[in-house]
Amino acid sequence: MNICLFGPPGSGKGTQASLLIKEFGFIHISTGELLRESLKRQDSLGVAIKKTMAEGALVPDEMVVELVRKFIVSCSSSALLLFDGFPRTIEQSNLFDQLLESNGRSLDMLINLEVDIETIVERISGRRVCEKCGTIWHIVLKPTKNQGICDLCCHELSQRDDDQERVVRQRYNTFLNASLPIFDKYERLGKAWSCSGSLSIEDTFQKVKMKINSIKK
């Protein structure tokens, strides 16, 4: 099975992905996470994408598709794959279709988590990350006991460059212009489904879980 989690930044793709991995045993790829790891390592990819990522723009298609290609070929043919934050342009989706086909796979469903822009801004611009243990906090929705300090490891929290409000609005516009046409493409093929991402984490998860169970082979 091959599932894409789709939706604007802050729609809860990462949160739903971790629940779906536990529930179904998916092998998961988040292109955003892989790119951030490259940034941290300051490898050649990380250096090349630093400015693009900080501005909330999309990394060139060929760089992202190469990460996804390596991932797909490294997985056994029986593995259930969950793509998170990919594809993000029509060109990526066309290359993705080819990649899946040449590996004996095809997309089963693209799941779109719908969330309005003001909810997204509230969710993302309050997000703070502990660089040491990776825990994600939120100044309103999931505050730490001591402001700016991780409850779990006492390390200082920071804000991702691309989580600033101005950049979040830019990322949302990029989603509308570059990514949303992908939903229409797969919808015409009967392979796209939308679900509200504004519900509680558990309610969204129950709906997504039911959908995946209904298409499981």
Minimum distance, C-beta of residue 60 to ligand AMP, in the bound complex (Å): 8
Q: Active-site residue among 36, 69, 105, 160?
A: 160
Show contacts with ligand AMP in window 126-185 (CB under 6 A): 162, 171
Question: Which among 21-29, 85-93, 139-147, 193-201 is the span making contact with ligand AMP, rule CB under 6 A?
Answer: 85-93
Residue bearing tokens 């990350």: 129
Clarify whether 123 is annotated catalytic: no
Contact call for residue 17 and ligand AMP (CB under 6 A)? no
* Amino acid, res. 48: A
Contact call for residue 86 and ligand AMP (CB under 6 A)? yes
All residues at 6 or more sequence positions from 134 whose CB lies less than 8 Å from its CB, including other chains: none
Of the residues 53, 72, 82, 195, which one makes contact with ligand AMP according to CB under 6 A: 53
Other CB atoms within a 10 A radius of the CB of residue 141 amount to 10
Clarify whether 169 is annotated catalytic: no
Clarify whether 22 is annotated catalytic: no
20, two tokens: 């779906």
| Most distant CA atoms of the chain, gap in Å | 52
All residues at 6 or more sequence positions from 6 whose CB lies less than 8 Å from its CB, including other chains: 13, 110, 111, 112, 113, 179, 182, 183, 192
Residues annotated catalytic, as ranges: 13, 88, 127, 160, 171
**Residue ranges that bind ligand AMP, judged by CB under 6 A:** 9, 31-32, 35, 52-53, 56-59, 64, 85-88, 92, 162, 171
